[in-house]
Amino acid sequence: MDAVLEPAAAARTAWRVGTVVEARPETSTARRIVLEVPDWPGNDAGQHLDVRLTAPDGYQATRSYSIASAGASTRVELAVDELPDGEVSPFLVQDLAVGDQLELHGPLGGYFVWMPQSETHDERPVQLIAGGSGVVPLLAMVRSHRATVDPTAFRLLYAVRAPDDVFYSRELAELTAGPNPLRLDFVYSRRAPHDWPVPAGRITREALEAFVVPAAQRPRVYLCGSTGFVERIAGWLIELGHAPGDIRTERFGGS
């Protein structure tokens, strides 16, 4: 007997088609891609989608990408970092062109999302922690926070290889000004700006403690990056007194 999907279930499993309307370098290894997806239902800040590529011989590869945009628009923004030996990301960063179409599935994920205080009635501060491209879903949260004029205190700790590798650098700088500004701290692992007070190096527990909202203030923590980064940081946060239930994580893969 053929399976019959209820409309809601069918929508959850459906693949949509998006057309690339903008593609530009974000850093020397990453690219910002904006898609027009006519039947996109909108998405919450922090959600992701799946991209499916199909080769001429029918071979398919699917990867997840966080959504940098949020809200009711049919424009969906991604930012993809190229892994040199990767199967999918080199195509998205180097070959995909404006006018091309992509198969998408989503929006996905209901856990790693941030909702404005008007919906949650939650006055606790928010601490965002990004490793590399892990900043993408956190940017969506910061954008939503600004768009809804939400009074929650927001702080972002961004661990990145070098100043040139910062995603959305100009926009993040702008978000540190204005009403209820974002508090932004960087940790550089390979090369720091020339006048930076701390030498470049892997993030330490001491740096983490210095740059995050103290556990006593019970921040809601959103932590995103490679699997190794997320596990190391989450372990230190718990050692520093943050409750495991207050730490939401998204792992991008890799060590």
Ligand X SMILES: Cc1cc2nc3c(=O)[nH]c(=O)nc-3n(C[C@H](O)[C@H](O)[C@H](O)COP(=O)(O)OP(=O)(O)OC[C@H]3O[C@@H](n4cnc5c(N)ncnc54)[C@H](O)[C@@H]3O)c2cc1C
Dihedral of the alpha carbons of 240, 242, 248, 252, in degrees to the nearest 10: 10
Phi, psi (deg, nearest 5) at residue 190: -115, -40
Residues 209-238 close enough to bind ligand X by CB under 6 A = 226
Q: What does R_g of the chain's alpha carbons equal in angstroms?
A: 19
Dist. CA 29–CA 162, nearest whole Å: 12
Interaction between residue 88 and ligand X (CB under 6 A): yes
Q: Using CB under 6 A, which of 19, 64, 117, 148 touches ligand X?
A: 64
Dihedral of the alpha carbons of 15, 20, 24, 26, in degrees to the nearest 10: -20
Interaction between residue 87 and ligand X (CB under 6 A): yes
Interaction between residue 66 and ligand X (CB under 6 A): yes
| In the complex, minimum distance from the CB of residue 165 to ligand X, in angstroms, rounded to a whole number | 12
Dist. CA 227–CA 206, nearest whole Å: 21
Cβ neighbours, 10 Å, residue 83: 15
Q: Which is nearer to ligand X, 141 or 215 (CB)?
A: 141
Q: Which is nearer to ligand X, 213 or 224 (CB)?
A: 224
Binding span for ligand X by CB under 6 A among 13-21, 60-68, 189-197, 213-221: 60-68
Interaction between residue 65 and ligand X (CB under 6 A): yes
Binding span for ligand X by CB under 6 A among 39-47, 58-66, 185-193, 196-204: 58-66
Encoded amino acid at 123, one letter? E
| In the complex, minimum distance from the CB of residue 100 to ligand X, in angstroms, rounded to a whole number | 17
| In the complex, minimum distance from the CB of residue 136 to ligand X, in angstroms, rounded to a whole number | 4
SS3 letters for 89-120? HHHHHHHCCCCCEEEEEEEECCCCCECCHHHH
Q: Which two tokens stand for residue 202?
A: 């892997």
Q: Which is nearer to ligand X, 63 or 232 (CB)?
A: 63
Encoded amino acid at 3, one letter? A
Number of residues that bind ligand X (CB under 6 A): 21
Interaction between residue 86 and ligand X (CB under 6 A): yes
Cβ neighbours, 10 Å, residue 74: 13
Interaction between residue 127 and ligand X (CB under 6 A): no
Q: Using CB under 6 A, which of 36, 53, 83, 192 touches ligand X?
A: 83
For 33, the 3-state DSSP assignment is strand
Q: What is the DSSP letter of 197?
A: S
| In the complex, minimum distance from the CB of residue 68 to ligand X, in angstroms, rounded to a whole number | 7
| Nearest residue to ligand X on Cβ basis | 86
| In the complex, minimum distance from the CB of residue 3 to ligand X, in angstroms, rounded to a whole number | 27
Which positions lie near ligand X, rule CB under 6 A? 48, 63-66, 79-81, 83, 85-89, 133, 136, 226, 250, 252-254
